Amino acid sequence: MASSDDGEPEQRSKRKSRKPGNTAFKQQRLKAWQPILTPRTVLPLLFALGILLGPIGGLMIWGSSKIQEISIDYTNCPEATDKLKDIPSEHIHAYFSSPVNDQAMWMFSSNGTGDDAQEICTLQFNLPNKLEPPVFFYYRLTNFYQNHRRYVKSLDEKQLKGDHRSKGALVTCSPLDANSEGKPYYPCGLIANSMFNDTFEPPVLLNTRDGSGQDNETYYMTNKGISWNSDRGRYGATKYKADEVVPPPNWVTRYGETYTNETLPNLHDMEEFQVWMRTAGFPMFNKLAMRNDSAPMKKGTYSVQIAYNFPSSEYAGTKSIVISTSSVLGGKNPWLGIAYVFVSGLCVLLGAFFTVSHLYKPRKLGDHTHLTFDTEPALAPAQATASGRAI
């Protein structure tokens, strides 16, 4: 009787081998350039990098210096009274082409009474010269870690796209997937729930001469076009009905305990939400709130009203407004140019050092033509050995 083990060798031979094919690519035998570093090749390369990176870094620094910007930290605005008060200078940073008067004022007040009261922070600041368009209005947060792994994963892409998702399908949003009654949060997850909810009125140029405010001029800014075009494709009109979902806990102040047909948000058109959902890589970041691409921002004294809602003090952070222009390279950031100039100087210094070292005490180089990389070493001839017993 034939044993069942007789077929095992045949089965093993039929199994697919995991050994890579015997080709030049898979066995890493492709032709490759293996440079031999000599002073003649290294020194010109160092000087070339120094000559190339230096001007590039200088242009980056020059371009960044042309950007005009003012930032005001309004975290401590509630400490101000109901009258305008000077803001401490450490909360103001301004970069302008004209001499800067960095004095600014703030006032904290409340509109309404009881639970419907809205706290308002009013900022007054001066622009020493005109800002050419485009002009961008950012908010800046510090000590807010949007790059935490659990935070970054806390969303549901299909729900954001508009699909009808039940509580059981919103696993990645836990623990903010649904309320105690089992109704899904829309939108769900930690990122959506922690959305920045301070709101800003467009800056107003104060030209009042008689105190009536009739000569004031509003610098209109829009929140359209503030998100990336690629981000807008992630969001769509929801297929939920208003009674099937509830707002996240931190959205209750704005939308109430439940949605209505009128208040159910359309995430495809909600660009401030799209901006927030693109998480930042560092704990200090700017996010675009408004912009003006056509009209210049005249010099003068401006007033900005801010609905004060976001609790930055709970995590020992700060919040600021930033009004800025831009350049071809983006916003104000001289550090990239400084890095280029530093590397350029380092390359030149190393090149000069190695040049002097080579001229003063040159090192004798071997003949690289004797180097071989693709031949196997010859085997040593076998030597007969005899033991003492054999002798």
The three-state DSSP-derived secondary structure of 11-76 is: HHHHCCCCCCCCCCCCCCCCCCCCCCCCHHHHHHHHHHHHHHHHHHHHHHHHHHHCCCEEEEECCC
Closest CA relative to residue 289, chosen from 255, 321, 333? 321
Domain limit, last residue, from 284, 307, 326: 326
**Cβ atoms 216, 206 nearer than 8 A:** yes
Has residue 375 got a pLDDT over 70?
Answer: no
Residue 153 forms part of a structural domain: yes
Distances in Å between the Cα of 35 and the Cα atoms of 44, 296, 326 are: 15, 56, 43
Same domain, residue pair 63 and 77: no
Domain boundary among the residues 326, 344, 372 is at 326
Establish if 32 belongs to a structural domain.
no
Residues 125 and 274 both lie in one domain: yes
Work out the average pLDDT over 23-51.
88
Backbone angles phi, psi at 364, to 5 degrees: -70, 130
Looking at the predicted structure, is the pLDDT value of residue 376 above 80? no
199 found inside a domain: yes
Do residue 157 and residue 61 come from a single domain?
no
Residue range 252-270, pLDDT digits in tens: 988 999 999 999 999 999 9
pLDDT of residue 194: 95
- pLDDT of the residue at 386: 45
Other Cβ atoms closer than 10 A to 58:
14
Q: What is the pLDDT of residue 6?
A: 55
Q: Looking at residue 305, what is its pLDDT?
A: 96
**Mean pLDDT confidence for 136-163:** 95
Mean pLDDT, to the nearest integer, of 364-369? Answer: 72
Burial class of residue 168, CB neighbours in 10 A (0-12, 13-18, 19+): exposed
pLDDT computed for residue 281 by the predictor: 93
Query: Is residue 119 located within the same domain as residue 229?
Result: yes
Last residue of a domain, which of 326, 342, 376?
Answer: 326
56 and 109 fall within a common domain: no
**Do 162 and 238 meet the contact criterion of CB atoms below 8 Å apart?**
yes
Among 16-20, 105-109, 135-139, the minimum mean pLDDT is found in: 16-20
Q: Tell me the β-bridge partners of 92.
A: 72
φ, ψ of residue 326 to 5 degrees: the values are -145, 170
pLDDT at 390: 45
- Of the chain, the percentage scoring pLDDT greater than 90 comes to 64
The answer to whether 258 and 180 have CB atoms below 8 angstroms apart is no
In a domain, 9, yes or no: no
Q: In this model, does residue 123 exceed pLDDT 70?
A: yes
The answer to whether residue 262 is domain-embedded is yes
Residues 207 and 342 in one domain: no
Same domain, 297 and 346: no
Higher local confidence (pLDDT), 49 or 5: 49
Same domain, 127 and 199: yes
Number of domains into which the chain is organized: 2
In a domain, 310, yes or no: yes
Distance CA 359, CA 61 (A): 36
Q: What does the pLDDT read at residue 388?
A: 44
Q: Which domain holds residue 337?
A: 38-67+333-360
Asked if 130 and 323 touch (Cβ cutoff 8 Å), the reply is: no
* 226 and 341 together in one domain: no
Q: Residue 333 pLDDT more than 90?
A: no
Q: What is the pLDDT of residue 371?
A: 65
Lowest mean pLDDT among 78-87, 107-116, 142-151: 107-116
Give the tens place of pLDDT for each residue, 230-247. Answer: 898 899 999 999 999 999
pLDDT of res. 115? 67
263 and 348 co-located in one domain: no
Could you tell me the pLDDT band of residue 34, with boundaries at 50, 70 and 90? confident
Share of the chain above pLDDT 70, in %: 88
In a domain, 48, yes or no: yes
Packed helices 335-360 and 39-65: angle between N→C axes, nearest 10 degrees = 160
First to last CA, the chain: 58
For position 366, what pLDDT does the model report? 73
The answer to whether residue 280 is domain-embedded is yes
User: Which of the given ranges, 35-49, 284-298, 324-338, has the highest pLDDT on average?
Assistant: 284-298
Q: What is the pLDDT of residues 162-203, one digit of tens each?
A: 999 999 999 999 899 999 899 999 999 999 999 999 999 999
Give the pLDDT mean for 351-380: 74
Average pLDDT over residues 96-108: 85
Shared-domain flag, residues 167 and 233: yes
Q: Which of 32-41, 79-88, 142-151, 323-332 has the lowest mean pLDDT?
A: 32-41
Residues 55, 190 within the same domain: no
Residues 190 and 151: their CA atoms lie apart, in Å, by: 6
Least reliable range by pLDDT among 22-26, 222-226, 370-374: 370-374
**Band (7; pLDDT cuts 50, 70, 90):** low
User: Which one is predicted more confidently, 80 or 74?
Assistant: 74
Position 112 scores a pLDDT of 72
Distance CA 199, CA 265 (A): 17
- The model carries a pTM of 0.80
